[in-house]
Chains A and B, each alone.
Chain A
Amino acid sequence: DAKTTQPNSMESNEEEPVHLPCNHSTISGTDYIHWYRQLPSQGPEYVIHGLTSNVNNRMASLAIAEDRKSSTLILHRATLRDAAVYYCILRSRPPYTGANSKLTFGKGITLSVRP
């Protein structure tokens, strides 16, 4: 599996934007970039995914570099509830028929939000 590299931790202020970086220099042309987050004492939660173009949903935006070797998860206005571990994961394109169905988690970025 192609590997991702994330900082161990980041801090932000409440109601300010947060940019969470992820490097994936060995990404293949068919790998999707997925982001999950895990709130304290909860299971991971899907946030967003993309292939080449920037993506937006109700939770966040995903900005993907033109060469696809890095990406940034953008939380437009951080709230205290956004304090979590954020995982950047590469996943091969569907359909998932076997080993490519699984997610490989790293240690993620621990985001702290200051009131």
Chain B
Amino acid sequence: NAGVTQTPKFQVLKTGQSMTLQCAQDMNHEYMSWYRQDPGMGLRLIHYSVGAGITDQGEVPNGYNVSRSTTEDFPLRLLSAAPSQTSVYFCASSYSVPSGGYTFGSGTRLTVV
């Protein structure tokens, strides 16, 4: 089925470890972005990309890196995990001239201990 696929769905990390959250979409969307959601809060933008090879920072970029080598993939890297990065992470994609809106993945629940 067409959509946004995030892996893994759950992850536990130790403080200081690094990891990559994967995001892939098969809708040929130009735009992709990463959000985090903490309990009782709305979504906050981490990084976004308007096309392959182009990325920019969002509201809360510190501690995260991204790259966009293909249209389909937009991985999010945690360089040195901290407990403050415990959150649910959502990846989203859309067309540049949307007939609808963003399509979101089902999320990755990350716990840093």
Residues 84-112 of B at the A interface (beta carbon under 8 Å): 90, 92, 94, 96-98, 100-107
Contacts of B43 in A (CB 8 A): 44, 103, 105
Closest Cβ of chain A to B27, distance in Å, is 13
Which residues in chain B, 48-64, are within 8 Å of chain A measured between CB atoms? 48, 50, 56, 58
Q: Could you count the A-B residue pairs with CB atoms below 8 Å apart for me: how many are there? A: 66
Interface set, chain B 25-47, CB cutoff 8 A to A:
31, 33, 35, 41-45
Cβ of B104 and Cβ of A45 under 8 Å apart? yes
Main secondary structure of the interface of B (DSSP, over half): strand
Please name the 6 residue pairs, one residue from A and one from B, whose CB atoms are nearest each other, closest first: A46-B101, A43-B104, A105-B42, A105-B43, A94-B97, A43-B90
- Cβ contacts A to B, 10 pairs, < 8 Å: A41-B107, A44-B102, A49-B100, A87-B42, A96-B31, A96-B97, A101-B48, A101-B50, A105-B44, A108-B42
